[in-house]
A and B are shown apart, each in its own frame.
Chain A
Amino acid sequence: MRHIPEDELHAYLDQGLNRTQCVEIESHLADCPSCRAMRDGIAALRDRTTALLARLAPPRSLPPTFEALRKRAAEVASERRRRLHALAWAASLVAAVGLGWTASSLTRPNEALQSPAPAVAAGAASDGTMRRPDAGQPLQVAAAPSPGRDAPAVARSGGQPSRTAGLVARPPDSARAASRDAALSVLNPTPALELTRLERPSGHGDLELGGMWRTMSWDGAKAEAGERLPHIDGLPVVQVQVQSGEQSSRPVMVVAQQLASGQVIRTIEGPATDVSQLLSRRAISDVDSLFLPGDSAGLGRDASHAMAMQLGDRMLAITGDLPSDSLRAMIRRLNAEMRGK
Chain B
Amino acid sequence: MTDDLEQLYQSTYTAVVRFLYRKVWDAERAEDLAQEVFVRALSHRPEKPRAWVFAVAANLARDEARAAMRRKRHLTLLKGDPIAQPTIGPAADDTVEHDEQMASVQDALNTLTPRDREILLLWDAGLSYPEIAAQTGLAVGAVGTTLARARRRLVDAHDRQQSRTGTDAAHS
Chain A residues at the B interface, C-beta cutoff of 8 Å: 6-8, 10-11, 14-16, 42, 45-46, 48-53, 55-61, 63-64, 66, 69-70, 72-73, 76-77, 276, 279-280, 282, 301-310, 315, 317, 323-325, 328
Contact = CB atoms under 8 A, between A and B. Distances in A.
Contact of A45 (B78, B151, B172): B151
Contact of A302 (B59, B80, B124): B80
Nearest to B38: A69
Using C-beta atoms within 8 Å of the partner chain, give the interface range for chain B.
35 or more
B42 to A, nearest CB: 4
Please name the 9 residue pairs, one residue from A and one from B, whose CB atoms are nearest each other, closest first: A11-B144, A16-B129, A58-B27, A73-B42, A7-B145, A7-B144, A58-B21, A10-B148, A51-B172
Contacts of B151: 10, 45-46, 49
28 contacts: A7-B148, A10-B151, A11-B129, A14-B129, A14-B144, A16-B128, A16-B129, A52-B105, A52-B158, A53-B105, A53-B120, A56-B109, A58-B18, A58-B27, A59-B94, A61-B31, A64-B35, A66-B5, A69-B38, A73-B42, A301-B80, A303-B80, A305-B80, A306-B78, A317-B78, A323-B59, A324-B82, A325-B63
B57 interface: no
Contacts of B75: 309-310
Given A58-B17, A66-B38, A309-B75, 5 more contacts: A10-B147, A46-B151, A56-B109, A282-B79, A308-B77
Contact of B35 (A60, A69, A303): A69
A66 B34 CA distance: 12
A324 B63 contact: yes
Given A7-B148, A59-B93, A76-B43, A308 B78 contact: yes
The interface centre, meaning the residue of B79, B106, B143, B154 with most chain A CB atoms within 10 A of its CB, is B79
Contacts of B81: 305-307, 324
B95 to A, nearest CB: 11
